[in-house]
């Protein structure tokens, strides 16, 4: 059992080291060392997350594309009908009030 190291995808990684508070030298130099460490830590995290990205298979892409196209057409028809009925209702109301001839 890995007590001081984490096992990720079969790789042994050491436990994350606790970061120290900036000292007098870091304050004097404008804390550039701390900023650089934060930046390199960020890049390390980005690389770790990028390794988790999986490219979908062709079958998955086709399935989701089919669902999206169906949804677009269904919503398009729904909004076309809704627009038609509201247009008719507003025209009828305006005609009855004498606003539109």
Convert the pLDDT of each residue in 53-75 to its tens digit. Answer: 999 999 999 999 999 999 999 99
Q: Are 26 and 34 in contact (CB under 8 A)?
A: yes
Instruction: Tell me how crowded residue 28 is: count the other CB atoms within 10 A of its CB.
Output: 9
- Calculate the CA dihedral of residues 55, 58, 61, 67 and round it to 10 degrees: -150
Q: Are 14 and 5 in contact (CB under 8 A)?
A: yes
Q: Which two tokens stand for residue 41?
A: 């830590």
pTM, entire model = 0.48
Note the pLDDT tens digit of each residue in 4-26.
555 555 555 555 666 666 565 55
């Amino acid at each position: 059992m890995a007590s001081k190291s984490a096992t990720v995808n079969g790789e042994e990684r050491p436990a994350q080291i606790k970061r120290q508070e900036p000292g007098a030298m870091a304050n004097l130099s404008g804390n550039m060392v701390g900023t650089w460490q934060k930046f390199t830590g960020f890049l390390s995290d980005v690389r770790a997350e990028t390794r988790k990205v999986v490219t979908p298979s062709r079958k998955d892409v086709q399935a989701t594309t089919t669902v999206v196209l169906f949804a677009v057409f269904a919503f398009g028809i729904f909004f076309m009908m809704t627009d038609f009925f509201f247009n008719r209702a507003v025209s009828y109301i305006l005609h009855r009030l004498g606003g539109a001839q």
